[in-house]
A and B are shown apart, each in its own frame.
Chain A
Amino acid sequence: DGGITQSPKYLFRKEGQNVTLSCEQNLNHDAMYWYRQDPGQGLRLIYYSQIVNDFQKGDIAEGYSVSREKKESFPLTVTSAQKNPTAFYLCASSFTGFFYDTQYFGPGTRLTVL
């Protein structure tokens, strides 16, 4: 079954700890994206990668870091510098890095920082 997997579904961390969210796709897509959802707001782009070993900041990159060492994987690290990390995080991928291209989403990870 082709698709995007995110793990874990729920994640709890203590304040001040870094945490890494996993995103894997087997769709052979070049581009991958991380979004954050907060109540009353649209999805906001954190980081995106149009090709392996390259990534760009989105609108709210501060306090986050990513890597793209493999085509299939785009992990997101939420660092202690992120002031309000509790949110729902969605990963997506698309065949190309063009923004007219359909994006396919994973099921999301809900991060709660205690």
Chain B
Amino acid sequence: ILNVEQSPQSLHVQEGDSTNFTCSFPSSNFYALHWYRWETAKSPEALFVMTLNGDEKKKGRISATLNTKEGYSYLYIKGSQPEDSATYLCAFTRDQETSGSRLTFGEGTQLTVNP
């Protein structure tokens, strides 16, 4: 089973602060990296899927970057709002042809934005 690590495990910020967290994954046979947002009592919701080294994706105040050669992705939130409070999950997959290829999730970063 592949190891996907997310840091920090939890984060508390004030409303208006910008923040970022990291997802680390094995760099060999990289295929895709997913980011999901999971609010309490709701279903995980897809934010981004990234496949190319150097990819940058943006959705409102949230953006993500990808470095497949060194095996990491950053998620940035600009001007955090209380509604951004959630657990942010990343998930990694190798090439579908690779034996045992599947989506492997990290434990998540739990973000709390205080008003």
Contacts and interface: CB of A to CB of B under 8 A. Distances in A.
Interface of A: 4, 33, 35, 40-45, 48, 58-59, 90, 98-108
B49 A102 contact: yes
A100 B44 contact: no
B96 A98 contact: yes
11 contacts: A4-B43, A40-B107, A59-B1, A90-B44, A99-B96, A100-B32, A100-B49, A102-B34, A102-B46, A105-B45, A108-B43
B66 interface: no
B102 A58 contact: yes
B31 A107 contact: no
A60 to B, nearest CB: 9
Contacts of A102: 34, 46, 49
B102 A100 contact: no
Contacts of B45: 105
Contacts of A42: 4, 89, 91, 104-108
B7 interface: no
Interface in B1-34: 1, 4, 31-32, 34
Nearest to B4: A42
A107 B46 CA distance: 14
A68 to B, nearest CB: 17
Contacts of A4: 43
A59 B76 CA distance: 31
B104 to A, nearest CB: 7
A107 B31 CA distance: 27
A59 to B, nearest CB: 6
